[in-house]
Amino acid sequence: MEQKIDELVKSYRNDMIQSLEELVKIPSVINLESAGEGAPFGQEIRSALDALMELAKTLGFEVRDYDGYAAAVDFGAEGREIGILSHIDVVPPGNGWSKQPFVPEIENGKMYGRGTIDDKGPLVAALYAMKAVRESGLPIKNHVRHIIGCDEETGHRCIKYYLTKEKGPDLGFSPDGMFSVIHAEKGILRFQIQKERELPNTKELCVIRIKGGTVVNAVPNIAEVWIGGPKEQLEEILREFQEKISKGTAQIREGNLYLAFTGVSAHAMQPWLGENAILSMIRFLKDLPFADYKTREYFKALAALFEDGWEGRGLGIACEDQLSGKLSMNLGILNVEKEHSELKVDIRCPVHVDLDTVWKTIRLTCEKHGFQPEYWQKRPPLYVPKDAQLVQILLDVYEDVTGTREEAITIGGGTYCRDVENFVSFGPVFPGEPELAHEADEFVDLDELVQCARLYAQALYRLLQME
């Protein structure tokens, strides 16, 4: 370990914390309604990108804006291009917070706020790692380009745009996963089912409205339904809900029955760590005697396809491989409003399973239940061999800094690494620590934030020495 670089990183602790606080204050959630020239993903993300670019300039780096899709922060000009891929956008806060998601709060050595761990905290750690290498004055053979995207959470359009303007780096890492090194990522398939329905007749037992989930890549922790109909039936359903559902609330409001099902949020790459509130709602609604036959069949079909949980058995796609484990499924969004219903599903597919075969099975199974699914994202898996030079360098760095030798791992998450060649994820979540990305009360441990910066600085220095 290069001690001079390490001491510099440690000296930046307070500056890193202050920089992260300023970025977390900006609610950089995609908002296409406020999109415009130079702000393709909305003004909030544009503001966060501006703040990030100003920070990088203050730290002494050259910065380039790629039309609001991404920014590049550069150090050096010779040799091979060593890349860092991070992102400034965040998922919506969702429900269940005990803190203000965009008012960073430090408590017991942890900073709470949306984006603290995904991905603003790691982004800041990587910037200060670059600063440490530069200020050390140690000789290097290559140069660094830190690419910060604005659309990682909703489609990677940012990195795709960047790659139409520039070639990708020669190799590098993304601080947007877990330690030690993620050398393989599952394939990702996202699809939706939209269906028209007749306007509900509130004089009969009917579903007026459903609102469940906010983003497809998070396990929904709340699902709400408004039911109309005769008072006697609504009161009977209210009693049934109170008897059967332990997590939730129910009351009759303005002549309609309001039911809220409560779950536990989690990242869609690990749905088994959460409790899907939409699935709880479907299991309850499927047995209600709605007056409209099509409504009854709709919920029975949803139950057949999804109520078994996260393995995808109802869809006929349950499978696994030795490298990356089981396929996982997350029904992330279900909305019913007036004459339209829509649901969105996130699938994480084992590395060695063919995505096209999985999609064909989903399509055929859904069609048997009267649905016409459409996919809007299909991303192939990532695989870099464990014995690759990049992987081994990062594993060596991890051992030198932490004193622990770990094996390279696989995840269900999807990072920028699969959009470019010769990239792997490196942190920020340490072994045994909870994955808090996309969850309520997201936080970063500040000691671990500094540890991340130490790791990134040593990794950069080693990669900058490569022939």
Read off the pLDDT of residues 348-363 as tens digits, 9 standing for 90 and up.
999 999 999 999 999 9
| pLDDT given for residue 89 in this prediction | 98
Shortest CA distance to 467 belongs to which of 83, 78, 147, 132? 78
Shortest CA distance to 130 belongs to which of 82, 65, 178, 179? 82
Integer angstrom CA distances of residue 43 from 36, 66, 385, 460? 8, 15, 40, 32
User: Which ranges of 177-230 would DSSP assign to H, the alpha helix?
Assistant: none
Name the residue with tokens 């994202």.
Answer: 377
Could you give the angle at the alpha carbon of 186 between the alpha carbons of 184 and 189, nearest 5°?
150
| pLDDT given for residue 155 in this prediction | 84
In terms of Cβ atoms closer than 10 Å to its own Cβ (0-12, 13-18, 19+), residue 127 is: buried
Could you give the angle at the alpha carbon of 136 between the alpha carbons of 405 and 72, nearest 5°?
85
| pLDDT given for residue 433 in this prediction | 92
The CATH number of 3-185+383-463, from 3.90.1310.10, 2.70.98.60, 3.40.630.10, 3.40.50.2300, is 3.40.630.10
User: Which ranges of 253-408 would DSSP assign to H, the alpha helix?
Assistant: 277-285, 293-306, 355-368, 389-402
| pLDDT given for residue 413 in this prediction | 79
Which residues, given as ranges, of the chain have pLDDT below 50? Answer: none
Contact 103, 25 (CB under 8 A): yes
pLDDT in tens, 298-322: 999 999 999 989 999 999 999 999 9
Q: Can you read off the two tokens belonging to residue 404? A: 């622990």
Q: What is the DSSP string of 241-274?
A: HHHH-SSEEEEEETTEEEEEEE-B--BTT-GGGS
Name the residue with tokens 């671990």.
Answer: 448
| pLDDT given for residue 154 in this prediction | 87
pTM above 0.85, yes or no: no
Q: Which residues touch 442 (CB under 8 Å, ≥6 apart)? A: 101, 112, 113, 114, 115, 116, 117, 118, 436
Buried b (16+ CB within 10 A) or exposed e, 381-412: bbebeeebebbebbbebbebbbeeeeebbbbb
Does domain 188-379 fall under CATH 3.30.70.360? My reply is yes
Q: Can you read off the two tokens belonging to residue 96? A: 């269940």
> Residue type at 446?
L
Q: Can you read off the two tokens belonging to residue 428? A: 């920020």
| pLDDT given for residue 361 in this prediction | 98
- E strands, 61-186, are 62-66, 70-75, 81-87, 105-107, 110-112, 143-149, 171-174, 177-178, 182-185
- For helices 120-136 and 3-11, what crossing angle results, to 10°? 130
Integer angstrom CA distances of residue 108 from 77, 445, 447? 42, 9, 11
| pLDDT given for residue 435 in this prediction | 83
- Give start-end residues of each CATH 3.40.630.10 domain in the chain: 3-185+383-463
Name the residue with tokens 């999804």.
Answer: 306
| pLDDT given for residue 95 in this prediction | 83
Taking every pair of C-alpha atoms in the chain, what is the biggest distance, in angstroms? 80
- Give start-end residues of each CATH 3.30.70.360 domain in the chain: 188-379
* Neighbouring C-beta atoms of residue 196, cutoff 10 Å: 8
What residues are labeled active site?
89, 152
Determine the Cα–Cα distance for residues 170 and 141; give it in Å rounded to an integer: 14
| pLDDT given for residue 438 in this prediction | 85
In terms of Cβ atoms closer than 10 Å to its own Cβ (0-12, 13-18, 19+), residue 145 is: buried
